[in-house]
């Protein structure tokens, strides 16, 4: 039964990851011989390729997404020492989160080739913000491991530090991710990237600093 469930989860992941490819297939005949493949900060096309290149994004993202999914599904086998207390179901959910992220990103890339404009930049960063917010919600439940979470020296060496850091980081990532979504939708394209990376820097720096200060306080 466990083996059947594992194979079903793999099939579901493959179906989700294949959606952008079939979307590209459905619009392929309607595309011109040359399509936009790259965009500047204002969302204007500045790179072009043959229409067959519309499949490149979905294929690369599908392969990467499937690899990450398999990694998270088998994390206890790959790293039995550090994940002995980890919840396999939780890592399974994170795996599906990455699969959905890669699939939606693939859809955005294909749509941007079909309808060039500032859609790609604005909604790419909003999508990433959604993923960060979801990870922030999950962070407090993640046990120490070498693959997911704030894997820095002080958290990996001390479980109390790990738990305290991820409980605090979860809030920063949830609220930071939500802000990235809002700014991605509301701000002009040229400001979306700037706001995204400023928020991202804060989301990384604050938990890292907290973890170090926690280490200093409890090692004195």
Lowest-pLDDT choice from 27-31, 105-109, 176-180 = 27-31
Q: Look up residue 79 and give its two tokens.
A: 């790293």
Res 74: pLDDT = 80
Spatial CB neighbours of 167, under 8 Å, sequence gap ≥ 6: 139, 140
pLDDT tens sequence across 41-56: 666 666 677 888 888 8
pLDDT tens sequence across 138-180: 999 998 888 888 889 999 889 999 999 999 999 999 999 999 9
Q: Which position has the token pair 């120490």?
A: 144
DSSP string, 143-171: PS-SSSS---HHHHH-HHHHHHHHHHHHH
Res 117: pLDDT = 61
**Spatial distance between the Cα atoms of 151 and 164, rounded to a whole number of angstroms:** 13
Could you tell me if 148 and 91 are in contact, meaning their C-beta atoms sit under 8 angstroms apart? yes
Is 60 exceeded by the pLDDT of residue 5? yes
Between the alpha carbon of residue 40 and those of residues 15, 60, 80, 121, the distances in Å are 32, 21, 44, 9
User: Pick the residue with more confidence: 7 or 16?
Assistant: 16
Percent of residues in the chain assigned helix, strand, coil, to nearest 5 = 75, 5, 15
Could you tell me if 73 and 6 are in contact, meaning their C-beta atoms sit under 8 angstroms apart? yes
Reported as a pLDDT band with limits 50, 70 and 90, residue 123 is: confident
Question: Stretch 87-105: mean pLDDT, rounded?
Answer: 89
Domain locations in the chain as residue ranges: 1-117, 119-220
Q: Which position has the token pair 């997911």?
A: 148
Res 84: pLDDT = 63
């Amino acid at each position: 039964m466990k083996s059947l469930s594992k194979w079903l989860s793999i099939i579901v992941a493959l179906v989700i990851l294949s959606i952008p490819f079939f979307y590209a297939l459905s619009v392929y005949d309607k595309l011109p011989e040359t399509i936009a493949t790259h965009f500047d900060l204002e969302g204007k096309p500045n790179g072009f390729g043959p229409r067959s290149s519309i499949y490149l994004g979905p294929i690369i993202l599908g392969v990467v997404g499937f690899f990450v999914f398999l990694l998270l599904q088998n994390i206890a086998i790959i790293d039995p020492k550090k994940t002995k207390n980890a919840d396999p179901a939780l890592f399974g959910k994170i795996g599906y989160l990455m699969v959905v992220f890669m699939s939606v990103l693939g859809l955005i890339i294909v749509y941007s080739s079909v309808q060039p404009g500032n859609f790609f930049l604005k909604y790419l960063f909003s999508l990433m913000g959604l993923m960060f917010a979801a990870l922030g919600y999950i962070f407090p439940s993640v046990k120490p491991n070498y693959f997911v979470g704030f894997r820095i020296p002080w958290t990996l060496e001390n479980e109390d530090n790990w738990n305290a850091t991820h409980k605090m980081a979860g809030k920063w990532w949830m609220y930071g991710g939500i802000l990235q979504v809002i700014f991605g939708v509301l701000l002009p394209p040229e400001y979306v990237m700037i706001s995204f990376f400023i928020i991202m820097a804060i989301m990384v720096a604050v938990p890292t600093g907290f973890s170090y200060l926690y280490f200093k306080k409890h090692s004195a």
